[in-house]
Amino acid sequence: MNCLDFLNYIRADFDLDSQEVSMFDVVIIGGGASGLMTAALCSMKGKKCLVVEHMPVCGKKILMTGNGKCNITNLEMYRDNYNCSEDGFMEQILSEVSPNRVIEVFENLGMLTRDRDGYVYPYSEQAAAVKNLLVTRCMENGVEFLYECEVAAIENIDERFVITADNMSYEGKSVILATGGMSYKKTGSDGSGYALAKKFGHTVNHCVPALTALICKEKFFKEISGVRAKGNVMLYLDDKIMSSELGEVQFTDYGLSGIPIFNLSRDVAYMLKKKKKPHVIIDLFPNISQEKLTTWFRESKRKYPKTKLTDSLSYIINVKLATAIAKNAGVSYSAKMGEIDDSRIGKIVSMLKTFEIEVVNVKGFDYCQVTAGGINVNEIDAHSFESKLCKNLYIIGEMLDVDGMCGGYNLHFAFAGAILASDSIG
């Protein structure tokens, strides 16, 4: 008697209910980007698939991605775009799943894509297109969905899996764990999937929020909220520069946001976790030297001594920022250029070049785009995403201890896992 027969026998014998245990080729836990892609690809290969989703709908997070446009991959795809502690893991995945492979998979599924400076989107630039495409392909190929369904246990019996969910049992030849990380819990990724992986002996490396904003100490943020400025953002620990990012910084009422800040935030989160005190220095004029700015200042003072300092500054930076910088340099709002002495000029110029900001926290899991940390990837086979600890168990997507930069890298990783796992199962 095989496992399925045994389960059905037990059910019948104990009169648990009249329903038989359903048998699937692939049971996918989590109906997000990676789970839906796996279900679509496996079902198109003729596999009988079940998606178990604990939310009332699938793919909620997909709809939020890329500001509603869904940045599915990036043509500039390098190992350095990812944080991953295991040597060779990402190299292997990227060598098997290039951006063009992801684009090709979408084209095969029936969607065209659009490239904007290397950032790839669905041609319609609507995230709903991605979600609807994946769900439609699943439905057409007979994928079954269980919504609002919590998995109580997954047991591995005779190289098969018995999944217990909402007092029902389902049997699968393969199981895919695709429950995401812990970012934006309201989309369903609440970290509950880690416990399922731990049951199979997997370890979960410490998780922190990544691709998120920074909460800063200075009081002037309320005054400069809404300002955007291009600059070079440098992350410091004590006097040592740890990393830097060029791009547009957004000043908010609580601190700093924007792509360069997001890209640095996981390092900040890990530093804060270790009770260290990082700070950020922004060079608001990365292409202009301190000497040149000083010369500009002295010349402006000589030629236009009656102009207000804040007005002069507002010719080179946002007026709100100019006012905050003048205030922080200890100069009155109404001070004229002719009244600014050399030491104040030095202070103001150094603020323009090295605007120092103390970071007190990162915006938490409810606001971050991705989770840093997760299941240790040295327990995962990089060719197939199969667990090295349990045959026919696959773990894909944000559950794993891999996080990418802003720009389509996290969805690329989610889709790469789905593609390689479904290749392996197929």
- Contacts with ligand FAD by CB under 6 A lie at 29-35, 52-55, 58, 61, 64-66, 70-71, 151, 178-180, 183-184, 187-190, 192-193, 369-370, 397-398, 408-411, 414
Gap between the Cα atoms of 162 and 8, Å rounded? 12
Closest distance to ligand FAD from the beta carbon of 415 (Å): 9
**Residue 101 contacts by C-beta under 8 Å, 6 or more apart in sequence?**
419
In the complex, least distance from residue 54 CB atom to ligand FAD, rounded to whole angstroms:
4
H helices of 339-408, where? 342-353
Helix (H) or strand (E) holding 59: none
CB of 129 to ligand FAD, least distance (A): 13
Buried b (16+ CB within 10 A) or exposed e, 360-388: ebbbebeebbbbbbbbbbebbbbebbbbe
Nearer to ligand FAD, 58 or 271 (CB): 58
Nearer to ligand FAD, 169 or 179 (CB): 179
Nearer to ligand FAD, 55 or 419 (CB): 55
| Burial class of residue 200 in the structure, from the number of CB atoms within 10 Å of its CB (0-12 exposed, 13-18 middle, 19+ buried) | middle
When the beta carbons of 123 and 315 are compared against ligand FAD, the nearer one is: 123
Shortest separation between residue 127's beta carbon and ligand FAD, angstroms: 8
C-alpha R_g of the chain: 26
Beta carbon nearer to ligand FAD, 314 or 384 = 384
For ligand FAD, the closer CB: 55 or 313: 55
CB of 183 to ligand FAD, least distance (A): 5
How distant is the alpha carbon of residue 22 from its chain centre? 35
- What CA–CA distance (Å, rounded) separates 74 from 100? 9
H or E element, residue 73: strand 73-74
Instruction: Answer for the pair 325, 351: CB distance below 8 angstroms, yes or no.
Output: yes
Decide if 29 contacts 41 (C-beta within 8 A): no
CB of 216 to ligand FAD, least distance (A): 21
Nearer to ligand FAD, 39 or 282 (CB): 39
Beta strands in 85-167 (DSSP E): 113-116, 119-122, 144-146, 151-157, 160-165
| Minimum distance of ligand FAD from residue 130's CB (angstroms) | 10
Structure tokens at 305: 């001594």
